[in-house]
A and B are shown apart, each in its own frame.
Chain A
C-alpha cells in the first residue's frame, strides 16, 4: 500500500455546515427543474440505496414515489438507517393516516437536526416525485454522508477527500468532483482495488473501456462488498455530467464499506469505548434494577401470612402465577440479557484489549446469581407454602363442609326423635302391641347405635377443625355441642323408654298369664258347674225305694264335693281380682276382656249361685220322691196281700171245677148242681176282685208297674177270674150239652160213663181234652184200624177247628155220629113225609120247597134229593 501525502482539496466549501446544506438545497431546486436525466438517475440510485437498507427489514420498494406515499416504508427506512425506533405508525388507510405517518418520518428527520424546507407531508403522500427524491436525498445526506469525517473534513468534502486519498496511488485516477471524474469507471475500480486487491486485477483495466470498468466495479461491489447496484453504467457514459447526488450516494456506500481512517478508528474506538461504557452503565443499571426487583420481590415471596379463605389464597396463588408467567419471565430475560451483556462486554473489552469489567460492589455476577438463587428458593418456598396452605384450607373447607353435611344429616335424622321417645303410647297398649312397640324400639335402638358412629365422626371432625384452626370454629363447636347434648338426651330417653316398655310388657304378660290361668281353670269348672246344674235338675223317674236311695246317696256325694268346688271358685275369683289389682296399681290399662276365655266372672258367679239354690231344691225333690216311693210300696204290699189270697182261691175253684167235670160217678144233674153251687160261690166272691181292681187302679195311677211282693198281676187275676167264670159257665154248658146230647142221642147213663171213662183214660193230661195221639190211641182201642188218611179225616170231623185237641163233647159227637152216620149214607133221597115228621113245620116246608125231586129210577114217589140240598146248605157232597 502506497502511502501518500494526503492533500486536502476542498470542493466548494466556503460555508458552514448548515449553510452549505442550505445552499445545496437551492442548487437542488434549480437542478430539479432543469435535468430530467438526473431525475432518472437519482430515482434509480435512491431506490437502490433505500432497498440496500430496507432489505435489513425484510422489505423493498419498487417505485420510489409510490411506495413512500403512505409513510410506512419511509418510517421503516429511517428506523433501519438510524438504528432507532420511531413512534408507531397509524394503521389506517385514509389519507390523513398516511399524512400522519409521513409526518412522523419528517419529524424524526427534523429531530436529527435537519431543517426540512418546502417538503410537506401532503406532497409526499400525493406522490410528488421531486419532493420525494428531495426528501430521500435529505435522508441520504444526513445519515450516509453527513457523518463522514476525514482529516477534519466532513460531509461532501470529507467524502471527496477520502476518495482522493484512497485513489492517490493510481496515476490514471483523478477525482475532483462527484460527476465527470467517475465516468471512466477507473475511480470505482481503484477504490475497490485499494481496499481489496484480491477482488480485481487493476493492471488489466483500460481507460478506454468505461462500460467494462463501470460494470466490473458494480458487479464486484454487489457481489463482494454487499453494495447493490445503484448506478447504470450506460447512463453514466451517455450523460455528459452524471448526477452528482447519485454518484455521491453510491460512493458513500463505498466509504461506509471501506472507511478506516484513523479518525474513524479513533471514533470507532471511542465509539466502542463509549459503547462499552454505556454497556457498563447499562449493566450497572440493569443489575441495580434487577437486584432492587429481587429485593422487593423476595419479602413478598417470604411472606407467610395465611389467608382465611381459600379464595384469598387462590388469589395469592394466582398472583404468584402471574408473577411466574408475566412478571418473572421478563426479569429472567433481563437477567439473561444482563449475563449476555456482561459476556459481550467482557468479550468486547478483551477484543479491544481493555481490562475486564468489574461491576461495583454487590452487583457482581455472583451477587446477582446468589440473589437470583435466593429468589428461586424463596419462590419455591413460597410456592410450596402456597400449595400447602391451599391444601390446608382446602382440607379445612372440605372438613367444614363435611361437618356441615354430617351435622345437617344428623340433625335431620334427629328431628322428632325426642318427641317419639317421650310418647306414652305404652300406657294404653295391649300385650301384642307392647311387644310390637318393643320390637320397634329395638329397631330404633340399633338405629341409634348406628348413629353413634356418626356422632363420633362429627365430633372428630369438629376436633380436627379446632386443631387446624379453622376460622369459623366457634360456630362449628356450638353446633357440635348442640348435637352431642341432644345425643345424650336421646340416649337417656331411649333407655327410659326401654325400661317403661319392658316393665309394661312384664305387667301385661303377668296379666296375660293370669288370664290364661283363669281360662284354664274356668273351663273345667264351668263344665263341672253345668254338669252339676244338669244333674241337679235332672228329671228322675224311679220306681223303687232303692233307686231313690241311691239317688239320694249320689246327691249326698255331690254335696260332699261342694267344698272343693268352693275352693276352686275362690281360686278363680282370686285370679280375677289379681288381674284387677295389677291393672289398677300399675296404671296399666289391661283389656277387661280375657282373650282366652269366653266365660266371664259374672257368668261363673251366676251359675254358682244357681247351683247353691239347686242343691237344697234337689234335696227336697228327693225327699218327696222318697215319700212317694214309700207310699207305693205300701200300695204294692196291699195289692200283693190281696192278690196272694185271691190267686190261689181262683186256682182252687178251677181245680174244683175240673175235678167236677172229670168225675165219673154221679149223674150229670148232680154235677150240674155242684157246678151251680160253685158258680154261686164264685159270684159272691166278686167284691174281692173289685177291691183288688180298685187297688190296682191306685197302683196304676201312681204309675207303679211292678210288684215284687206277688207274682200275681192284675191281669193274671183278671184273666184267672174271667177264665174261672167262663170255665164254670162252659163246664156248666158242657154238662148241659151232655145232658142234651144224652137225651138227644139216647145215650144211657152207662154209655155216658163209658164214654167218660174212655175219655178220661185217654186224656193223659187230665185236662178235659184229648190230644191227637190220645185220640188215636182211643180209636185204636175201640177197634178202629186206622190208616193215616182215615184218621186225618176223622180228626177233621172231630176237630173241625183244628185246635189240636178233642173235647169230650166232640168225642161224644163223633162216637154218636159214627153209629148214626151209616143210617142215612145209602139213602140219597128222603121222603116228604119224613121231613114233615122229623122237622118243625116251617123247616120242613123250607126243605120241601128247596129240595129238588130225586130223579133216579127206583125212587118212591115224592122222594126229594136232599144231598144236593144239603150240599147247598152245608157245603158237603158225596161224589
Chain B
C-alpha cells in the first residue's frame, strides 16, 4: 500500500479514465491512461485507486460525485492515490 499525492496543472483534460464508485460497488480506479497525458506524465499508474480528490475522501463517493469533483477543478487538480 503506497499512498501518494499529485497535483496536476490545469486545465482539463487530465488524461485518464476513471472507473468504479460506491454505486458500482467498486473502488474508484484508474482504468486507462492517455499516453503522454497529464496523469501519465505525473506518474499515475493504471489500476491505482483514488483515495481522495481535492483533499476530500473519495471512499464513499458515487461515480457521478467523483466525476463532478474532478470536473470542478479548473486551475489545478490535487489527488491522492494508492497503488
Interface, chain A (partner B; CB < 8 A): 788-790, 792-797, 868, 871-872, 874-879
- By the criterion CB–CB under 8 Å, are B31 and A879 in contact? no
In the assembled complex, which residues on chain A have CB atoms less than 8 Å from the CB atom of B63?
Answer: 871-872, 875, 877
- By the criterion CB–CB under 8 Å, are A876 and B19 in contact? yes
In the assembled complex, which residues on chain A have CB atoms less than 8 Å from the CB atom of B70?
Answer: 879
In the assembled complex, which residues on chain A have CB atoms less than 8 Å from the CB atom of B29?
Answer: 796
- Starting from the known contacts A788-B45, A879-B16, A879-B17, 9 additional A-B residue pairs (CB-CB under 8 Å) come to A789-B33, A790-B46, A792-B45, A794-B46, A871-B63, A876-B19, A878-B16, A878-B17, A879-B13
Separation of A474 and B47 alpha carbons in the complex (Å): 145
- By the criterion CB–CB under 8 Å, are A875 and B17 in contact? no
Separation of A868 and B67 alpha carbons in the complex (Å): 9
Query: A802 CB to closest chain B CB, in angstroms?
Result: 10
In the assembled complex, which residues on chain B have CB atoms less than 8 Å from the CB atom of A794?
Answer: 46
In the assembled complex, which residues on chain A have CB atoms less than 8 Å from the CB atom of B18?
Answer: 876-879
Kindly list the 8 A-B residue pairs having the minimum CB-CB distance in the complex, ordered from nearest. A793-B46, A875-B24, A789-B45, A792-B46, A878-B17, A875-B63, A876-B19, A792-B47
Separation of A792 and B29 alpha carbons in the complex (Å): 12
Query: A277 CB to closest chain B CB, in angstroms?
Result: 184
- By the criterion CB–CB under 8 Å, are A793 and B32 in contact? yes
- By the criterion CB–CB under 8 Å, are B71 and A879 in contact? yes
In the assembled complex, which residues on chain A have CB atoms less than 8 Å from the CB atom of B45?
Answer: 788-789, 792
Which of A788, A793, A868 contacts B31 (CB under 8 A)? A793
- By the criterion CB–CB under 8 Å, are B40 and A796 in contact? no
- By the criterion CB–CB under 8 Å, are A879 and B14 in contact? yes
Query: A656 CB to closest chain B CB, in angstroms?
Result: 38
- By the criterion CB–CB under 8 Å, are B71 and A790 in contact? no
- By the criterion CB–CB under 8 Å, are B17 and A877 in contact? yes
Separation of A790 and B13 alpha carbons in the complex (Å): 19
Interface of chain B residues 1 through 40 with chain A (CB within 8 A): 12-14, 16-21, 23-24, 26, 29-33, 35, 40
In the assembled complex, which residues on chain A have CB atoms less than 8 Å from the CB atom of B20?
Answer: 875
Q: Does B56 contact A (CB under 8 A)?
A: no
- By the criterion CB–CB under 8 Å, are B35 and A875 in contact? no
Separation of A769 and B52 alpha carbons in the complex (Å): 37
Separation of A794 and B45 alpha carbons in the complex (Å): 11
Query: A852 CB to closest chain B CB, in angstroms?
Result: 12
Query: B24 CB to closest chain A CB, in angstroms?
Result: 4
Query: B82 CB to closest chain A CB, in angstroms?
Result: 14
Query: A139 CB to closest chain B CB, in angstroms?
Result: 184
In the assembled complex, which residues on chain A have CB atoms less than 8 Å from the CB atom of B44?
Answer: 789
In the assembled complex, which residues on chain B have CB atoms less than 8 Å from the CB atom of A871?
Answer: 63-64, 67
Separation of A875 and B61 alpha carbons in the complex (Å): 12
Separation of A877 and B71 alpha carbons in the complex (Å): 11
Query: A619 CB to closest chain B CB, in angstroms?
Result: 68
In the assembled complex, which residues on chain A have CB atoms less than 8 Å from the CB atom of B21?
Answer: 875
Size category of the B interface is 20 to 34
In the assembled complex, which residues on chain B have CB atoms less than 8 Å from the CB atom of A872?
Answer: 63-64
17 pairs, CB–CB < 8 Å, chain A vs chain B:
A789-B33, A789-B40, A792-B46, A793-B31, A793-B33, A795-B47, A797-B32, A874-B19, A875-B20, A876-B18, A877-B17, A877-B19, A877-B67, A879-B13, A879-B14, A879-B16, A879-B67
A797, A874, A877 interface centre (most CB from chain B within 10 Å): A877
Query: A772 CB to closest chain B CB, in angstroms?
Result: 13
In the assembled complex, which residues on chain A have CB atoms less than 8 Å from the CB atom of B67?
Answer: 868, 871, 877, 879
- By the criterion CB–CB under 8 Å, are A790 and B33 in contact? yes
- By the criterion CB–CB under 8 Å, are B23 and A875 in contact? yes
In the assembled complex, which residues on chain B have CB atoms less than 8 Å from the CB atom of A790?
Answer: 33, 35, 46
- By the criterion CB–CB under 8 Å, are A875 and B19 in contact? yes
- By the criterion CB–CB under 8 Å, are B31 and A876 in contact? yes
The chain B residue sitting closest to A821, CB to CB, is B32
In the assembled complex, which residues on chain B have CB atoms less than 8 Å from the CB atom of A877?
Answer: 17-19, 63, 67
In the assembled complex, which residues on chain A have CB atoms less than 8 Å from the CB atom of B14?
Answer: 879
Query: A777 CB to closest chain B CB, in angstroms?
Result: 19
- By the criterion CB–CB under 8 Å, are B47 and A875 in contact? no
In the assembled complex, which residues on chain A have CB atoms less than 8 Å from the CB atom of B16?
Answer: 878-879
Separation of A795 and B45 alpha carbons in the complex (Å): 12
Separation of A340 and B43 alpha carbons in the complex (Å): 184
The chain A residue sitting closest to B71, CB to CB, is A879
In the assembled complex, which residues on chain B have CB atoms less than 8 Å from the CB atom of A875?
Answer: 19-21, 23-24, 26, 63
Separation of A879 and B44 alpha carbons in the complex (Å): 13
Separation of A20 and B16 alpha carbons in the complex (Å): 221
Separation of A788 and B46 alpha carbons in the complex (Å): 9
In the assembled complex, which residues on chain A have CB atoms less than 8 Å from the CB atom of B47?
Answer: 792-793, 795-796
Query: B32 CB to closest chain A CB, in angstroms?
Result: 5
Query: B65 CB to closest chain A CB, in angstroms?
Result: 11
Separation of A875 and B47 alpha carbons in the complex (Å): 15
Query: A842 CB to closest chain B CB, in angstroms?
Result: 24
In the assembled complex, which residues on chain B have CB atoms less than 8 Å from the CB atom of A793?
Answer: 30-33, 46-47
Separation of A868 and B40 alpha carbons in the complex (Å): 23
In the assembled complex, which residues on chain B have CB atoms less than 8 Å from the CB atom of A792?
Answer: 45-47
Separation of A879 and B23 alpha carbons in the complex (Å): 19
Separation of A874 and B32 alpha carbons in the complex (Å): 14
Separation of A338 and B24 alpha carbons in the complex (Å): 182
In the assembled complex, which residues on chain A have CB atoms less than 8 Å from the CB atom of B26?
Answer: 875
The chain B residue sitting closest to A802, CB to CB, is B47
Query: B39 CB to closest chain A CB, in angstroms?
Result: 8
In the assembled complex, which residues on chain B have CB atoms less than 8 Å from the CB atom of A788?
Answer: 45
Separation of A565 and B11 alpha carbons in the complex (Å): 103
B17, B35, B46, B64 interface centre (most CB from chain A within 10 Å): B46
In the assembled complex, which residues on chain A have CB atoms less than 8 Å from the CB atom of B64?
Answer: 868, 871-872
- By the criterion CB–CB under 8 Å, are A878 and B13 in contact? yes
In the assembled complex, which residues on chain A have CB atoms less than 8 Å from the CB atom of B13?
Answer: 878-879
Query: B66 CB to closest chain A CB, in angstroms?
Result: 8
The chain B residue sitting closest to A791, CB to CB, is B46
Contact with A along B43-74 (1 / 0, CB 8 A): 01111000000000000000110010011000
- By the criterion CB–CB under 8 Å, are A789 and B46 in contact? yes
In the assembled complex, which residues on chain A have CB atoms less than 8 Å from the CB atom of B24?
Answer: 875
The chain A residue sitting closest to B39, CB to CB, is A879
Query: A813 CB to closest chain B CB, in angstroms?
Result: 15
In the assembled complex, which residues on chain A have CB atoms less than 8 Å from the CB atom of B31?
Answer: 793, 796-797, 876
The chain A residue sitting closest to B73, CB to CB, is A879
The chain B residue sitting closest to A875, CB to CB, is B24
The chain A residue sitting closest to B64, CB to CB, is A872
Query: B72 CB to closest chain A CB, in angstroms?
Result: 11
Query: B76 CB to closest chain A CB, in angstroms?
Result: 14
In the assembled complex, which residues on chain B have CB atoms less than 8 Å from the CB atom of A878?
Answer: 13, 16-18, 32
In the assembled complex, which residues on chain A have CB atoms less than 8 Å from the CB atom of B33?
Answer: 789-790, 793
Query: A653 CB to closest chain B CB, in angstroms?
Result: 39
In the assembled complex, which residues on chain B have CB atoms less than 8 Å from the CB atom of A874?
Answer: 19
Query: A250 CB to closest chain B CB, in angstroms?
Result: 189
The chain A residue sitting closest to B22, CB to CB, is A875
- By the criterion CB–CB under 8 Å, are B46 and A879 in contact? no
Separation of A795 and B32 alpha carbons in the complex (Å): 11
Separation of A796 and B16 alpha carbons in the complex (Å): 14
The chain A residue sitting closest to B15, CB to CB, is A879
In the assembled complex, which residues on chain A have CB atoms less than 8 Å from the CB atom of B40?
Answer: 789
The chain B residue sitting closest to A793, CB to CB, is B46
Separation of A795 and B34 alpha carbons in the complex (Å): 16
The chain A residue sitting closest to B70, CB to CB, is A879
In the assembled complex, which residues on chain B have CB atoms less than 8 Å from the CB atom of A879?
Answer: 12-14, 16-18, 67, 70-71
The chain A residue sitting closest to B28, CB to CB, is A875
The chain A residue sitting closest to B30, CB to CB, is A793
Query: B78 CB to closest chain A CB, in angstroms?
Result: 14
In the assembled complex, which residues on chain B have CB atoms less than 8 Å from the CB atom of A876?
Answer: 17-19, 31
- By the criterion CB–CB under 8 Å, are B17 and A796 in contact? no
Separation of A790 and B30 alpha carbons in the complex (Å): 11
B26, B35, B45 interface centre (most CB from chain A within 10 Å): B45
Separation of A404 and B35 alpha carbons in the complex (Å): 149
Separation of A876 and B29 alpha carbons in the complex (Å): 10
In the assembled complex, which residues on chain B have CB atoms less than 8 Å from the CB atom of A789?
Answer: 33, 40, 44-46
Separation of A797 and B29 alpha carbons in the complex (Å): 12
Separation of A464 and B18 alpha carbons in the complex (Å): 148
The chain B residue sitting closest to A796, CB to CB, is B47
